[in-house]
Amino acid sequence: MQNRYAQRIWEQVSLLTGQVGPEVKVMNLPKPGKYGGQDDLDKFNDWLGQILKYFHTFKVTGPDHDEDHVLYTGLYLEGLASQWYDQEVDSPNRQVQHWTFKELISDKYDQTRFEYDKGALAYYNNLKCRVHRMVQPPDDYSFRRKFLQGLPHSIIKSIFEACGISAEHSTIKEILKEVRHMETVQKVANTHMRTSHTGSGGKTSQG
């Protein structure tokens, strides 16, 4: 889904399209509506289409206008989405200092990866942090599916076979509990295997 948004942004506003012609200046084009942060993908897609078309029509395009895209987008938000923008994009205390328009719309949620040295809980927390920075957060099912898809295959296979865990039928709390348990089991098993291997490797034959 996020890749699709990135593609739409690239096609509509990332490439420079020249100057606004006189015919555009006299057109009484409606401005984009305002998106309020509703958990409704159709409404979000419709709003994004409007704002991209608006930028494209008035030639607010190309890399030099990326800051303008971020700035103008804030004018077409309301409710929860506007509050999110004020806190995450416009506030002096924001965590991300310089947003790109692509990050504003799709963020880095789709690029978040599991890291073995940090583990499942860190991966989960990183995903949740990304979600809170998105104008259009994923629904609960999509989040569970994303979390499971990013885990190592050995963990997914184990929790599915042993516990029947799935994105469709399990809560994120149930999933996280079983994932962390399986992660611990596998770490203990791996440590035991390394210890056994080291021990057997250190023996010398007599004779």
Higher pLDDT, 187 or 25: 187
pLDDT of residue 207: 43
Mean pLDDT, residues 136-141 taken together: 84
Helix axes 66-73, 41-57, angle to 10 degrees: 130
For the stretch 171-189, pLDDT in tens is: 999 999 999 999 888 888 8
SS3 category, 73:
helix
**C-alpha to C-alpha distances, 66 to 9, 45, 200, nearest whole angstrom:** 11, 20, 61
pLDDT of residue 205: 43
Would you say residue 8 has pLDDT above 70? yes
Length, in residues, of the chain: 207
pLDDT of residue 27: 66
For the stretch 73-122, pLDDT in tens is: 999 999 888 888 898 889 898 878 888 998 888 765 666 778 888 888 88
Mean pLDDT, residues 126-148 taken together: 84
| Among 37-51, 65-79, 94-108, 117-131, the range of highest mean pLDDT | 65-79
**DSSP H or E stretch at residue 71:** helix 66-73
